[in-house]
Amino acid sequence: MDQSQLQDQVTGTVVNTVVDNTNPTVMAQGTQLVNSAVSNVQSVQQPQVVQEVQNAQVDQNVSQVASPQPVQPQVINTKKKDAGATSFVVYLFQFIVLGIVSFFKNGTNMFNANNMIDSGEETEQQKSSKAKIAQRIELRKQAIRNNPKYIEMKQALSSQLAAESGKKYETPVVFQYTCMNPEGKIVTGKFNGVSKLDVNAFLLNEGMEVYAIETSDYLNFVYGQSKITGIKMSTKDLIFWLTQLSTYLKAGIPLADAVRILADQMSHGKENSKTQIFKAICYELSMGTAFSKTLEKQGNVFPSLLINMLKAAEATGDLEQTLDEMAAYYTEVNDTKQQMKSSMTYPILVMVFAIGIVVFILSYIVPKFVDIYESAGVTLSSTTQFLIDLSGFLQNYLLLILAVIILVIVSIVVVYKNVQPVRRVMQMGVMHLPLFGQIIIYNEITLFTKTFASLLKNNVYITESIDILSKVTSNEIYKEIMFNTIRNIARGDKISDSFKDQWAVPEIAYFMIQTGESTGDLANMMQKVSEYYAGLHKSMINSMKAFIEPAMIGFIAVVVGGILVAVIMPMFDLYENISM
């Protein structure tokens, strides 16, 4: 008798024994029977004594259950409560016996969730479902492969690849491709590469079936990395990209696969400029190009600071830590920029709101009083007459005034971005303002010292560091300081000499830099300078907010109140004339 038969016999015996629970002797026999069933199940795992235990225990159980009286149908039918209790006891004993048998049969594996379900049937269903999906995908693929249109495109591509086997562009150009993805769908996209062969090899490696690869001047103009249409990764996206990339590398994911995963995450499954950039990175990595060189080939998408830091990290083999440090660096830089924007946003909005109120009053409120004063012949004061004349001017030339203001603003922005002397003069003028100037200086010193400290800690050469610093800042005053530093280094002078007697460099910063250079701990001293002025910058912004809010409210009250008083004062003269 095998184990399953023994289990069925024991279970059936227990059930038959406990049906009549009105007999205490029978209940005692049922309890004794359960104990003997446990002994029988335990002895199953010993092959030499299995048969003896089965014969002895089962014969004893059978002889014990032969003595009870047969169940009386009349008793069970007349005692419904006892019948319910009997059913409960039956199910309870059956559950206990089956549980004990299963425990000794499967051990602790019986508590595995995968063993508690009928995994065989679900596995078959899953297999069947996967087979149907694979069959549908294969049918779609075959339909596309047999389509005359795609057959012709495939043949044309083969001819082009054979004719351009040795042709390569000096700089990457934009290719537009048409492929069938592993799901059997036709997809189109754009890709930066130096030859059709390389692009075709990359797409095949991605599991695509390629049907067309082409380029044109139009594609390069619209989608190429030019100064007009070139894109630049935002600081927010760069922080996310660096953080996630470091996490994936620490988890053991290869660099190319990590970049590919991030491309899917950041593009949200849609073809856009970011997808094109990340595909170009994967392509360069698959060609064996260094990671820093790959990012450098993407034009102005990635900052030069990051590229140079990655070059140093590749030399030392500490890429993950450098990615974490750069993510922290750009997080702090982004926080500083947000503080600057928040400090400037409020006063600008209040000023625009105040100007809007004044224009509304002069354009719509003041003209209501003009007719009254003219009909009554009231003599107007010079202030009121000026407001009335200004109101009439705004009514007649409001659109022209708005057009001139917009034109002036656009002209200033264009000149500021493209004419270096004008930009320098405007920056110098703003930096000499009482409160705003200190905020700008503290922000520039914080950015400069923080960047310099990161470069020095990663063993980037001093000359390269200064060149990078001149590109990080957009302030012409500090760019001149960087160029003077490079000249001093070339002459063998100290770095700190470039910051001496500079009105744009606070004396405390100069002395701290000088101390760090003298002690040979310039990197840590730069970091301390950065932290010190970052605190001052934040404090100044909070102080400016606390000062500007009541000042702007008072300004609005004075302007609006003055206009209303100047307009309403002639009404009192009118009332006096009427009363007389």
Q: Is residue 244 part of a domain?
A: no
Give the domain range for residue 390: 335-580
What's the pTM? 0.59
Task: Say if residue 170 is in the same domain as residue 135.
Answer: no
Task: Say if residue 138 is in the same domain as residue 151.
Answer: no
Q: Rounded distance, CA 312 to CA 459, Å?
A: 7
Task: Outline where 361-475 has alpha helix (H).
Answer: 366-376, 382-418, 420-431, 436-457, 462-472
Give pLDDT, residue 80: 45
Q: Which single residue is written with the structure tokens 């012709």?
A: 152
Task: Say if residue 498 is in the same domain as residue 562.
Answer: yes
Q: Rounded distance, CA 35 to CA 21, Å?
A: 18
> SS3 of 433, please?
coil
Q: Exposed/middle/buried for 579, CB within 10 Å: 0-12, 13-18, 19+? A: exposed
Q: Is residue 243 part of a domain?
A: no
Q: Is residue 450 part of a domain?
A: yes
Q: Is residue 260 part of a domain?
A: no
Q: Is residue 50 part of a domain?
A: yes
Give pLDDT, residue 143: 92
Task: Say if residue 154 is in the same domain as residue 66.
Answer: no
Which residue, of 164, 197, 230, is where some domain finishes? 230
Give pLDDT, residue 242: 92
Q: Rounded distance, CA 230 to CA 14, Å?
A: 82
Give pLDDT, residue 244: 92
Q: How far lies 551's CA from each of 65, 394, 434, 548, 564, in Å? A: 101, 27, 15, 5, 20
The residue type of 121 is: E
Task: Say if residue 422 is in the same domain as residue 511.
Answer: yes
Q: Exposed/middle/buried for 217, CB within 10 Å: 0-12, 13-18, 19+? A: exposed
Q: Is residue 217 part of a domain?
A: yes
Give pLDDT, residue 272: 65
Q: Is residue 569 part of a domain?
A: yes
Task: Say if residue 36 is in the same domain as residue 128.
Answer: no
Task: Say if residue 128 is in the same domain as residue 206.
Answer: no
Is the Cβ–Cβ distance between 340 and 447 less than 8 Å?
Answer: no
Task: Say if residue 158 is in the same domain as residue 41.
Answer: no
Q: Rounded distance, CA 24 to CA 22, Å?
A: 6
Task: Say if residue 98 is in the same domain as residue 221.
Answer: no
Give pLDDT, residue 415: 92
Give pLDDT, residue 248: 92
Is the Cβ–Cβ distance between 458 and 313 less than 8 Å?
Answer: yes
Residue 72 DSSP one-character state: P
For residue 186, the cross-strand partners are 180
Closest alpha carbon to 205 in 182, 186, 185: 182
State the angle between helix axes of 319-360 and 304-316 in degrees (0 to 180), rounded to the nearest 10.
Answer: 170
Which residue, of 169, 199, 230, is where some domain finishes? 230
The residue type of 469 is: L
Q: Rounded distance, CA 401 to CA 222, Å?
A: 36
Q: Rounded distance, CA 62 to CA 38, Å?
A: 16
Domain count, the chain: 4
Half-sphere exposure of 180 (CA within 13 A, CB side): 18
Q: How far lies 390's CA from each of 385, 395, 396, in Å? A: 9, 9, 10
Give pLDDT, residue 26: 43
Task: Say if residue 504 is in the same domain as residue 369.
Answer: yes
Task: Say if residue 139 is in the same domain as residue 154.
Answer: no
Task: Say if residue 166 is in the same domain as residue 96.
Answer: no
Closest alpha carbon to 465 in 495, 424, 499, 509: 495
Q: Residue 225: how many CB atoms within 10 A of its CB?
A: 22
User: pLDDT tens digits for the chain (580 residues)?
Assistant: 444 454 445 444 444 444 444 444 444 554 454 455 445 444 444 444 334 434 444 344 434 434 444 444 444 444 444 555 566 666 666 667 666 666 555 555 554 544 444 444 557 778 888 888 888 999 999 999 999 999 999 999 998 888 887 778 877 788 889 999 888 899 888 877 788 888 888 888 888 899 999 888 888 887 765 543 456 788 888 999 999 999 999 999 999 889 888 888 877 656 666 777 888 888 888 878 889 888 888 777 888 888 888 888 887 778 898 899 889 888 988 887 887 777 778 778 888 888 888 888 888 888 887 777 777 777 777 888 888 888 888 888 888 988 999 999 999 999 998 888 899 999 999 888 887 888 889 888 888 888 888 888 877 777 777 777 777 788 889 888 888 888 887 787 888 888 888 888 888 888 988 898 888 888 889 889 988 998 888 888 888 777 877 888 888 888 888 888 888 877 777 776 666 5
Q: Is residue 155 part of a domain?
A: yes
